[in-house]
Amino acid sequence: MRNTIARFLYSLFVVILFIQNGLAQENNPIDSNKIIEQKVDKKKLGLVLGTSTLTLAASYIYVQNAWWKNSSKSFHFDEGADYKYAKNLDKCAHVMGGLITAELVHDALKWTGMNDNQSYLYSFLLGTAMHSFIELKDGFAPTYGFSVGDLAAGTFGSAIPYLKYKFPKLKAINYKFSYYQHDRFFYNVKREGKADWIDDYMNQTYWLTLSVNDWLPKGSKAEKLWPDFLCIAGGFGVDNTLNNYYLGYNEDSFKGLGNYEYYLSLDIDWRKIIPQKTGGQIILARTLNYIKIPLPTLRLGPSTDFDWLFL
């Protein structure tokens, strides 16, 4: 995942945060039926669209100056290097970026009075459009190229909130991220510019967590015994044999190296701990649900290991 996406999403988060805060400061419980009956507030909608446009424009100016100034070429597709980069773990980061973008946009659109179907659908479309913009720009960059894989991953991430709305059983599944510096190799390599943790894929893990009770038969003995907040998590990462990539070797023999790591762990669904009655509570629980907290973890491959508090 390139820094452009990280900084773009950060900018988007900052400018939309004040809109979320307006929703969060409502002390009354959120009534979905009431929201569906509301009409769209044109002033609020204009504010959201204007803010989004300004964010996109500011992001364009930033990445143009930071990455592509005086170094563009004719549009071209990635020729395969992207599918070797970081053992494709960057695709997991693109999914996360798409998910967060879509949920931020959904909150902003719902704040305007849109009903759930409209706000989820448009957040999916706008999230996909934003990632398409980044990939189109990469298509003119000399060292990158338009990556179908990156766009597909971002599009899938943007679709997750809409899919959960359409298929409520999917709400039991959360997509999470964890980061811990198990080693400093990435930061010790000599390079031009600053080493950003967002590119340190050797120390990142991506997780799918299942809120077990949501899928157990209601009223069953198993459902009563299993703690409502406790989840089962499966993790995916890459080990530090990816190191040669960061040494700057460009030969094909060094690209795509690294072993995938697989994990089985426990996790927490914060929606089951934090009351979900106000906008602020909903946003807080959802934000915490982006991050996998340290809990006992079993590594299943490429070798087995156990850690009481793994990140």
Domain boundaries, the chain: 1-166, 168-192+201-311
Whether residue 8 is predicted with pLDDT greater than 80 in this model: the reply is no
Whether residue 94 is predicted with pLDDT greater than 90 in this model: the reply is yes
* End-to-end Cα separation, the chain, in angstroms: 20
Angle at 224 between CA 218 and CA 225, to 5 degrees: 140
**Regarding predicted confidence, which is higher, 91 or 188?**
91
| The pLDDT of residue 4 | 42
Please tell me the distance from the alpha carbon of residue 94 to that of residue 79, in angstroms, as a whole number.
19
| The pLDDT of residue 235 | 97
Q: How many residues does the chain have?
A: 311
Whether residue 13 is predicted with pLDDT greater than 70 in this model: the reply is no
Q: Side chain identity at 162, as an amino acid letter?
A: Y
HSE (side-chain half, CA atoms, 13 Å) at 186: 20
Whether residue 33 is predicted with pLDDT greater than 60 in this model: the reply is no
Please tell me the pTM assigned to this model: 0.83
Mean pLDDT throughout 251-265?
76
Contacts of 93 (CB under 8 A, 6+ apart): 1, 5, 198, 201, 204, 206
